[in-house]
Amino acid sequence: MNIYSWNVNGIRSAIKKGFGDWFNAQKPDILCLQETRADEDQVPEDIRNPEGYFAYWNPCKRKKGYSGVAVFSQIEPDTVNYGFDIEEFDEEGRVLQLVFPDWVLNSIYFPNGGSGDDRLDYKLRFYDAFLENSRRWLANGKHVVTLGDYNTCHKEIDIARPKENENISGFLPIERAWMDKYVENGFVDSFRKLHPDERDRYSWWSNRFGARKRNVGWRIDYAFVDEDLVPNIVSAEIHSDVMGSDHCPISIELEPPFAPLPISHDEDLV
């Protein structure tokens, strides 16, 4: 089962740059999109409801043309959740959660913390709400797979200019410390698990100063899985040759079936 994720930085813009051709050629089992920046009725029908897929859209409710996520899946989920049931986070259209019999897929566009202290606080609280949600799914016996734009580089190996960016949101110590906490709670960066020492592998580049051409980038798009799913990882890739956005797609291939997880008896989680 192959799952792709791509921050398209505006689905209407990406369509003009060949998104449809790429999607039709790739035909992933599941495609997660972030920063769609459009309502469903603003997207052509062949992209809004692609043939052979169950399509789910979650646009931003607070502001037109901002944020938004979508998922196209060849596998029908049991349930679809459009957030964490926390209004301040859900109104920005950042989460689509597909619930399957033995696992949960999250497509998430995590907030950027670069617009001041209030927004950084919002980002960190969103992170914590997400982690609590993920821990609850595990406690209820479901694996958790989360793809998306996390908006943080975890390690120095994940960014081309670590020293120059250590005071910039996306590489702040407090953001990176949350990524550490995420890993400590049993979640695994699939790309780094399979490619522990690979450098110069990025998923986002500034549109300024020819950053992409010079490969001065950041790896902020991830496919994380719970640690019990690590044996099921077949591949995890970054597709930096694919154009159409300031981000490139990432992918993970997982081999089912997934081993059952025990149900927790912790009343705070179940």
**pLDDT, tens digit, 9 for 90 and up, residues 189-245:** 999 999 999 999 999 999 999 999 999 999 999 999 999 999 999 999 999 999 999
DSSP code, position 38: S
- For residue 96, CA distances in Å to 21, 99, 264 come to 24, 10, 24
CA distance 118 to 132: 21
- Residue 141: which CATH number? 3.60.10.10
In a domain, 96, yes or no: yes
In a domain, 123, yes or no: yes
In a domain, 132, yes or no: yes
- For residue 30, CA distances in Å to 33, 76, 85, 197 come to 10, 10, 24, 28
Predicted local confidence at residue 265, as pLDDT: 64
DSSP code, position 44: -
In a domain, 56, yes or no: no
Q: Are strands 204-205 and 250-254 parallel, antiparallel or unpaired?
A: unpaired
Quick one: which of 219, 231, 163 has its CA closest to 193? 231
Q: What is the pTM of this model?
A: 0.96
In a domain, 148, yes or no: yes
In a domain, 43, yes or no: no
Helix (H, G, I), strand (E, B) or coil at 62: coil
In a domain, 57, yes or no: no
User: What's the total number of domains in the chain?
Assistant: 1
CA distance 200 to 226: 26
Q: What is the pLDDT of residues 168-192, one digit of tens each?
A: 999 999 999 999 999 999 999 999 9
Known catalytic residue: 149? yes
Across the chain, mean pLDDT equals 96
**What is the band of 162 on the pLDDT scale with cuts at 50, 70, 90?**
very high
- Active-site entry in 78, 121, 149, 189: 149
Domain range for 127: 76-254
CA distance 241 to 235: 17
In a domain, 227, yes or no: yes
